[in-house]
Structure 1
Amino acid sequence: MTITSHGEELILDKERALYLPQHQLLAISDLHLGKSAHFRSAGVQVPSTIAQNDLQRLGLLIEKYQPKTLLINGDMFHHGLNTDIDEFSEWRKHYKDLNFLLVKGNHDRLANADYASMNIDIHEPSFCLGPFCFIHDAPKCTEEELYPISGHIHPGVTIVGKAKQRLKFPCFYFGNEYAVLPAFSTFTGLYNIYPKASEEIFAVTPNSVVKV
């Protein structure tokens, strides 16, 4: 789905990604690589294919949009170094010409040398481009003249059908003061968003992005 926000065209992709054609920038939030491996190390039975599937989805998005820059808007890595992050390091080698930017989130705790070894540029607390300011937690944004685009809360929306069935989907939220991207990882919960008047929510269904 294509929308216009603050004078710029934005593409909302059903794979929980945002593309800015004018800047050739692909943005995602809350990748949480390493989360499944961290749970497995604690004895929780979590499939080992979660990180692989998320990286495969991300690779397909890169092929689809051919961006110059990939921006991860916080919580790229869930925990310390582990097998999921090792897998990312190998996957990253297929995209040597792609500029990787990370706006640090609350779970991004690796040493700067670890990010550098994976050719990831770090930005704290935000990365600003055009009319937008990407920041993991919107209320902390200090660029008042720019529109913050955040992540962090894993936004979701509940849709009630004609037969009163309730379906919950990840969503893009474009509020009066800031926007929130859906969590890219499929291994996350959802926090229900309740928009105010004039605010917009776009549900991410299995087949498309739809305005609610």
Structure 2
Amino acid sequence: MTITSQGEELILDKERALFLPKHQLLAISDLHLGKSAHFRKAGLQVPSTIAQTDLQRLSLLIKQYNPKTLLINGDMFHHGLNTDIDEFSQWKKQYEQLSFLLVKGNHDQLSEANYAELGIEIHEPSFCLGPFCFIHDAPNYTDEELYPISGHIHPGVTIVGKAKQRLKFPCFYFGSKYAVLPAFSLFTGLYNIYPKVSERIFAVTPKSVVEV
């Protein structure tokens, strides 16, 4: 789905990513790497392939859009260092020409030395580009000149079918004051959004992105 926001073309991808062609920037939010390993360490039976699946999806996006910059808009890592993050470190070696930027979120708690070792450039509390300002939690943004794009809440929308069946999907939200990206990780819940007049909601279905 291609839309125009703040006078610029944006591509909303069904893999829960946003691409800015003018800036050659691929943006995702709420990757939550390490979440599954953290839960397993706590004794919960969570599949070990979750992080691998998310990284494979990210690889396909990088191949498709060939961005110069990958921006993670908060909550890149769920907790501390663990086996999932070791796997990310090995995965990242194939993208030496790609700049990795992280706008820190509430779960991003590694040390500056850890981020530096992983080759990740940190921005806190935001990263601004063109008419947009990426920040993990939009209510914390105070500059009215730029349009904030956030994450954090893992937005979702419920669609009611003709037979009154209800299906819930991740979504992109574009309101008058800010936008919210869907959580990239498949291992997250959804916070249901109820659009108001003038707000645009784009549901992420298994096959495409559709406006609802």
Alignment of 1:136-155 (within 5 A): 136-155=136-155
* Identical-residue share of aligned pairs (%): 84
CA distance in 2, matches of 1:30, 1:74: 6
- RMSD after superposition: 0.4
> Which residue number in structure 2 is paired with residue 77 of structure 1?
77
Matched, 1:167 2:167: yes
> Which residue number in structure 1 is paired with residue 201 of structure 2?
201
Q: Which runs of no fewer than 5 residues in structure 1 stay unpaired?
A: none
Return the offset for 1:144.
1.4
> Which residue number in structure 1 is paired with residue 97 of structure 2?
97
CA distance in 1, matches of 2:109, 2:43: 22
Q: Give the match's secondary structure for 2:64.
A: helix
Q: Give the match's secondary structure for 2:93.
A: helix
Q: Give the match's secondary structure for 2:189.
A: coil
> Which residue number in structure 2 is paired with residue 16 of structure 1?
16
Return the offset for 1:196.
1.3
CA distance in 1, matches of 2:139, 2:95: 33
Q: Which runs of no fewer than 5 residues in structure 2 stay unpaired?
A: none
Return the offset for 1:142.
2.3
2:51 is aligned with what amino acid? A
> Which residue number in structure 1 is paired with residue 29 of structure 2?
29
CA distance in 2, matches of 1:195, 1:139: 17
Return the offset for 1:25.
0.1
2:118 is aligned with what amino acid? M
TM-score, length-scaled by structure 2: 0.99
Return the offset for 1:143.
2.0
CA-to-partner distance for each residue in 1:68-89, whole Å, 9 max, x for gaps?
A: 0000000000000000000000
> Which residue number in structure 1 is paired with residue 114 of structure 2?
114
